[in-house]
Each structure stands twice: as C-alpha cells, then as structure tokens.
Amino acid sequence: MKIAYRHAAVEDAAILADIYNAAFYRDYLKFGECPGYGKTKEMMEQSIRRCPKFIILCDGKAVGCISCREQAPQVYEIGCLCVIPAWQGKGIGTQAIRFVKEQYKGWKCFTLVTPADNPENIRFYTEKCGFRIVSEEMDGNVRLVRFVLYR
C-alpha cells in the first residue's frame, strides 16, 4: 500500500465532499449533527480557499483528507483528518499526522478537536499519535475534547 499526499485544488471540491460525507456519516447519525458531514461541492470550494488541504491517496485512490492551518507562529490547528471508513484501521491516519509534522517543519504545537463521545478517535490521537487532552468545549450539541501535541 503506497500512501501519497497532494495539495487539494478548488477542482477537487467534489472529491473532497464525497470523502468528508463518507467519513463523517457515522458521527452525523450518532449526534444528529456533524460539522464535517453534509458538505456540498460549493461548501468545499470555499473551504479549500480558506484552509490548506491535502488529499490522502492510497495506491493512487483518494481515500482521505488532512487540513492544517497556522493559528499563531509555529502553532497549527488540524481542522480535519478524515479517512473513508473502508480504509480506516490501515495506518493511513497515523501516517497523515506524520506527514503534517514533516510538512510544517517549524511546528511547536499541533492542536485539534474531536467529539468526546468518540473513544476510537480519542484512543487514536492519544495512543497512536501522542496527543494529550487539554480541555473540553461545546460545538452546538456536541461535546468536544481539545488535544495538543508539543514538540
């Protein structure tokens, strides 16, 4: 399995909308809402313009996305890491975290949020990627946990 990354362009909006909607469908069903679900091509076009995204390719097939944006000098927010469910559990997400750490060489801190009621995500970020939980916050009806990873 060969994993590669490429910058997403506005022309990739439909592909990314399909990836996000597939990856976040379970969260939508569980919580009744999910900011990553229900994306349209137009919404993704705007998102691509606002926040750098990388399409995750596995053997040439688009299977996921990771987005990351500098919040302060050397502090980056991972806005989204998603992998289509059929491709989860294969180390793709772990490699994507390694990729952004290499991509943003001068980083001192990465931060992100995920639903507090998602033990798989919490285990992934803490056990596989080395993040730690620093706080909780609300996004609509969804309780989120905030993670940080320091160099």
Amino acid at 15: I
Model pTM score: 0.93
CATH number assigned to the domain comprising residue 28: 3.40.630.30
**Confidence bin at 139 (pLDDT 50/70/90):** confident
The pair of structure tokens assigned to 3 is: 């994993």
3, 34, 60, 129 from 124: Cα distances, Å: 19, 19, 25, 7
Structural contact between residues 85 and 22, judged by C-beta atoms closer than 8 angstroms: yes
Question: pLDDT, tens digit, for every residue of 31-56?
Answer: 788 888 999 999 999 999 999 999 99
Overall average pLDDT of the 65-77 stretch: 96
146 pLDDT more than 90: yes
What per-residue confidence (pLDDT) applies to 141?
A: 78
What per-residue confidence (pLDDT) applies to 61?
A: 97
* Number of domain units in the chain: 1
Q: Is 84 helix (H, G, I), strand (E, B) or coil?
A: coil
**Confidence bin at 70 (pLDDT 50/70/90):** very high
Overall average pLDDT of the 82-110 stretch: 96
Percent pLDDT > 70 in the chain is: 100
- Share of the chain residues as helix, strand and coil, in percent rounded to the nearest 5: 40, 35, 25
Overall average pLDDT of the 78-106 stretch: 96
What is the domain extent for residue 33?
A: 3-150
45, 114, 119, 127 from 148: Cα distances, Å: 28, 12, 17, 13
